[in-house]
Every structure is written in C-alpha cells, then in structure tokens.
C-alpha cells in the first residue's frame, strides 16, 4: 500500500472511531414533568415574596420606534417604579404605579397619568412593553394564562411562549439561593424587548418612593 493510501485509511478509521464515540455519548434529556413541577414551586415561592428589584440595561423596538438605556425596576406587589436613563439623548423618565394608578414623569410636556401603565408608556414614549407579563417573565416565571415552556438541559426555562410573545432566556445567575435570569429577550411580531440584568437586589423597603 502506498503512503497516500495508508494515510487515507488512517483518516477514514479515525473518523469512524470519532463518530462511534460521539454516537455512544448519551444526550442529556430533560424530564418535562420534573421541570414543570420545579417551575411551579418557584412560582409559588415568588407569589409569597412579591417584592423585588433589579438594575440593568433595556432595548425596545416596535414599528421603527424604540430606544435603549439603563433601567432600574422596583416591584412591590402590584405597585412598581421603573426608571430608564438614555445616555445618548441624556434623557430619562420614570413610570410609577401605585394602587392601580400610573404616573409617567420626565416628558417634555410634563407628567402624564392614567389607569393603564402599558397604554401610557405606548402613547407617550412609543414603547411596546407588556408590563404585567414582563414582571413575571423577567424572573423566569409564567404570567397568567396559558403558556408553553421549553426547558434547557439544566431544567431551567429556555423559552416561554405566551400571549403571542416569545421569551428567550440567554443565561441565568444565582441570587438569594434562587436561579434568576441574566438576559431576557421578548418578541412579538415586529416588537421586541431586550433586558440584560446586571444586578438583582433585595427589596429596599415596603413601599415605593
């Protein structure tokens, strides 16, 4: 056998061994039932601890409009306070909801108020953000209503599909002994909301400032 023929034979045998080895490595599957049970347990614990906050970065786009900046989100049950600062435009606004009433500050024309936080944000800033659902999704939980959940190999949600939105999780951290998302990408049609969470924090107090 020539040297060239011998070399080809070595390559073929090597590839066969490599393929056999790859085929023999079992793929790690996810126990869907166990993953759903663990998710339900996390949701029950979150319901008992409704106060939380985080800081990070946000990028929003919808129908050619959008923006980005740093974000601080404080949640106290159904009440919330969200502050967004855009370094490019050097502008910031603050959305607060207390006892079901919403106030949006930082607008050129002065503060705006109303009962619907999502509508207020959409009309005044042009941002399409499903705030009610996002307060759950950002913690890796399902919002109210039907949802389809895909899990990663570690048993944590990789994707939640709900209300026409697709929410992808691109990494997780640990905070206070719990798994918390690090990157959350939500999209529906031409609308998208991307969150990169830099720091989860313990609640600062029982009420919002």
Structure confidence at residue 86 (pLDDT): 85
**Which pLDDT value is given to residue 88?**
67
Note the pLDDT of residue 172.
Answer: 96
Report the predicted TM-score, pTM, of the whole model to 2 decimal places. Answer: 0.82
Residues with Cβ within 8 Å of residue 116, at least 6 apart in sequence: 102
- The chain-wide mean pLDDT, for the chain, equals 86
Using 50 as the pLDDT threshold, list the residues of the chain that sit under it.
4, 6-8, 10-27, 206-209
- Backbone angles phi and psi of 135, in degrees to 5: -65, -25
What number of CA atoms fall less than 13 Å from residue 167's CA on the CB side?
27
13-16 contacts: CB < 8 A, separation 24 or more?
none
55 contacts 70 by C-beta, under 8 angstroms? yes
Nearest to 163 by CA among 128, 130, 120, 127: 130
């Amino acid at each position: 056998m020539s040297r060239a023929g011998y070399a080809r034979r070595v390559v073929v045998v090597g590839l066969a061994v490599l393929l056999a080895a790859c085929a023999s490595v079992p793929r790690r599957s996810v126990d869907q039932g166990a993953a759903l049970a663990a998710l339900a347990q996390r949701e029950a614990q979150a319901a008992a601890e409704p106060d939380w906050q985080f800081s990070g970065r946000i990028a929003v786009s919808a129908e050619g409009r959008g923006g980005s900046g740093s974000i601080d989100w404080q949640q106290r049950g159904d009440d919330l306070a969200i502050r967004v600062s855009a370094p490019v435009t050097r502008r910031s606004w603050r959305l607060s909801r207390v006892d079901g009433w919403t106030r949006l500050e930082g607008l050129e024309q002065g503060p705006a108020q109303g009962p619907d936080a999502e509508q207020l944000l959409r009309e005044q800033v042009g941002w399409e953000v499903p705030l009610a659902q996002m307060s759950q999704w950002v913690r890796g939980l399902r919002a109210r209503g039907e949802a389809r959940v895909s899990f990663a190999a570690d048993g944590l949600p990789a994707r939640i599909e709900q209300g026409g939105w697709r929410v992808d999780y691109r990494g997780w951290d640990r905070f206070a002994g719990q798994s918390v998302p690090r990157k959350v990408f939500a999209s529906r049609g031409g609308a998208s909301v991307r969150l990169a969470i830099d720091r989860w924090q313990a609640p600062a107090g029982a009420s919002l400032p």
